[in-house]
Chain A
Amino acid sequence: MRFITGILKEEKRMKEKNNNLIGRIQQYISKTKGPGFYRADDRVYHPFNVIVQKEISDHVRSWRFIILLVIISLTCLGSMYTAMSSIKETIKPNDPEGSFVFLKLFTSSDGILPSFVVFLGFLGPLLGISLGFDAVNSEQSKGTLSRIISQPIHRDYILNAKFMASLIVVSVMFFALGFLVMGFGLISIGIPPTPGEFLRIIIFIFISIIYVAFWLNLSIVFSVKFRQPATAALSGIAIWLFFAIFYEMIVDLIMKGLVPPTGLVTEAQMINFENFRLNLLRISPSQLFSDATTTLLMPNVRSLGPLSLVQVIGTIPGPLSLTQSLMLVWPQVTGLIAATIICFVISYVSFMRKEIRSR
């Protein structure tokens, strides 16, 4: 008898223990906010998605991202304000761009604050670099990398998922900002965008995302190469500053040495020199970005290089169609994508071949 009651007691104890356990699990679940993989459901996520989810949640909750979001939102507001206040002056009668008032929201400025596009060209790299510079090396220094790669996942999932997560974060942010600017513009100027304008803005946002993706990948390369996140961040920023500030100066210096004084060269030679200068400038991704975006958002831009008098004579000023504008910037867009892919390949190869030891 005592034996049986003993068994019963034991059973009861076990049951209580189980109940406690389930209660505790539920408690955690209700407490835990965050990515879907914390939920106690029946779904089985692909490991790649799990890493992406975690990375996105890390980004969104990090101070770094919040600060960047605030900076870019402020920029957005500031440039929108200047665009609004100067939009009246920028629309002139008989302007070929008269029908593209909405695009002016993104490109016009009052001369004091730069326009939205210029701001984005300047801050995009900062965004990309800050989302990627510690992608791999911080995992290494935290000691989590060797733990993650000993799970049954392919090694490249880590790199790809990190890139994917940052790209998703940037895309959501840019689309949100772009649509917000459009929405505010709609309310304040009262003119709805034409389908053409809308498409141009969407493509502009896409190109901006590619541009940020380039800087993101560049900083991921540095994060694979350098053990210290600070070194990686500084290298990224150094390249950004080099292209933003010094590169144009250097190109001008070179051109000064090459081009003979005016009066000694023919128009054709002058055009050749100018084209050469532009091509040199186009090594810089920021130049590619600004070429691409200005052409898309200013439909009356018909050429990105100099035109000779002969070419200009007889042209009727008028906006290019969307497909024509796209044709014009296609080399720039492919250039940006290519640069992005090159950076990705470099980081991929060096990460796959890296021997990962604990910190």
Chain B
Amino acid sequence: MNENIIELVNLTKKYGSFTAVDQLDLTIRKGEVFGLLGPNGAGKSTTILMLLGLTEPTSGSVRVCGIDPVTNPIEVKKKVGYLPEDVGFYYNLSGWENLMFTARLNRMSGKEASMKVELLLEKVGLTEAAGKKTGKYSRGMLQRLGLAEVLIKNPEVIILDEPTLGIDPAGVVEFLQLIARLSRQEGITVLLSSHDLHQVQKICDRVGIFVGGKLLAQGDLKTLSQVLFEGNPFVIEAGIGFDSSGLQLADNKAQEEWVKRILASVVGVQAVSKNGNLFRIHCTRDATGEIAKAIVESGAQLYYLNRKEYGLDEIYYRYFEGGKKNERKE
């Protein structure tokens, strides 16, 4: 399981004076689901193109399954399935015909190809629609057909570029579960890029945060939050009602000040901010119990208390706000 299947060392890609990917180091192990998370224009697609040998890196080295895609793209493409962003099919051909075409491009015999295509259509749930022209497919169906197409060549790695773009929420869940299942069942390494943190969070073993061509952090969610939130890793959300306390707190500012004063005695509380109806209390340790006690004793009503797990939400906002400054049109 510890075999590295993708190795990027010092990878850089420049377009003129613009640096799309900046000295990227990344290793992905066999069998894991890796999520490349970043805002639009962060260089995710460029990195993927370099992995496939579809564009040459300016400097640095790429190894996919131990092969260099710059000198030997065909061998890499035999082992790597790639689902491009916003995948398209020949709309005048049926789903079955489209997949047969791909299978034949992979030098399969007719028998092998038709069996494989049939199985994959079954797997992605498109058997009923196999004879329909892809021009009549919905976005989600196209995406599933794309996944089937990627699997035709029995890939060791599949690379999905923004696979959930344009699918409705229910479809997204279904699609991601399909990917996760395939990865577990067949031991396929999955690299998926996305700008949607929630989706990546759901199925990825590890996540890399990619902003402005640089990988800011990588690891599973736990290590990520440790790395990214070194100062105050705990956030407690509290809903506090002031009606019965007789306090006259006109605005959020005053309320924040008040909560801060109450919690002054609690060790480890760093900052308080109001976010919608809830107060966010940042602490250096897990002080949930003491906070609850302090609030209740102050006379205000505590109607909601939640110790927040660090989700990608926080990571996203914290790091992508910096990314927005150098956002570019893709």
Contacts and interface: CB of A to CB of B under 8 A. Distances in A.
B52 A152 contact: no
Nearest to A53: B104
Contacts of A21: 118-119, 122
Contact of A153 (B74, B82, B100): B74
B270 to A, nearest CB: 44
B101 A37 contact: yes
A152 B86 contact: no
Interface-centre pick from B92, B101, B115, B153 (highest chain A CB count, 10 A): B101
A64 interface: no
Interface string B124-135: 000100110000
Given A21-B119, A355-B54, 13 more contacts: A21-B118, A38-B97, A39-B110, A40-B115, A142-B89, A143-B88, A143-B89, A144-B90, A147-B149, A151-B102, A151-B153, A154-B74, A358-B84
Contact of A58 (B92, B111, B114): B92
A37 B45 contact: no
Interface string A118-156: 000000000000000000000000111011111111100
Given A25-B115, A147-B87, A355-B49, A43 B101 contact: no
A47 interface: yes
Contacts of B87: 143, 147, 358
A341 B161 CA distance: 37
A50 B101 contact: yes
A42 B109 CA distance: 5
Interface in B219-233: none
B114 A150 contact: no
B96 interface: yes
Contacts of B111: 40-42
Interface in A1-45: 21, 24-25, 28-29, 31-32, 34, 37-45
Contacts of A144: 88-90
Contact of B54 (A24, A34, A150, A153): A150
Nearest to B122: A21
Nearest 4 A/B pairs, CB to CB: A143-B88, A358-B84, A150-B82, A41-B110
Contacts of B86: 143, 358-359
Interface of B: 45, 49, 52, 54-55, 74-75, 77-78, 80-82, 84-92, 94, 96-97, 100-102, 104-111, 113-115, 118-119, 122, 127, 130-131, 146, 149, 153, 161
A154 to B, nearest CB: 7
Contact of A358 (B85, B107, B131): B85
Interface of A: 21, 24-25, 28-29, 31-32, 34, 37-47, 50-51, 54, 58, 61, 142-144, 146-154, 355-359
A32 B45 contact: no
A32 B96 contact: yes
A41 B109 contact: yes
B89 to A, nearest CB: 6
A163 to B, nearest CB: 18
B63 to A, nearest CB: 18
A37 B112 CA distance: 12
B74 A152 contact: yes
19 contacts: A21-B122, A24-B127, A25-B118, A40-B110, A43-B109, A61-B92, A142-B91, A143-B84, A144-B90, A147-B87, A147-B89, A150-B81, A151-B105, A151-B153, A152-B107, A153-B74, A356-B54, A358-B84, A359-B88
A357 B330 CA distance: 10
A144 B115 CA distance: 23
Contacts of B88: 142-144, 147, 358-359
Given A143-B88, A150-B54, A150-B84, A357 B49 contact: yes
A148 B91 CA distance: 15
A44 B77 contact: no
Nearest to A149: B54
Contacts of B85: 358
A152 B104 contact: no
B106 A37 contact: no
Nearest to B142: A143
A152 B114 contact: no
Contacts of A147: 82, 84, 87-89, 102, 146, 149
Contacts of A29: 114
B109 A44 contact: yes
Contact of B106 (A25, A51, A143, A152): A152
B108 A44 contact: yes
Contacts of A50: 101, 104-105
Contact of A40 (B45, B107, B113, B122): B113
B100 A38 contact: yes
A228 B106 CA distance: 30
Nearest to B103: A37
Interface-centre pick from A45, A154, A357 (highest chain B CB count, 10 A): A357
Contacts of B45: 357-358
Contacts of A355: 49, 54-55
A142 B114 CA distance: 25
B140 to A, nearest CB: 15
A143 B109 CA distance: 26
Contact of B84 (A37, A41, A146, A154): A146
A64 to B, nearest CB: 12
A47 B107 contact: yes
A41 B112 CA distance: 9
A138 to B, nearest CB: 10
Given A42-B110, A150-B84, A355-B55, A51 B92 contact: no
Contacts of A32: 94, 96-97
A34 B84 contact: no
Contact of B114 (A28, A45, A51): A28
A42 B88 CA distance: 29
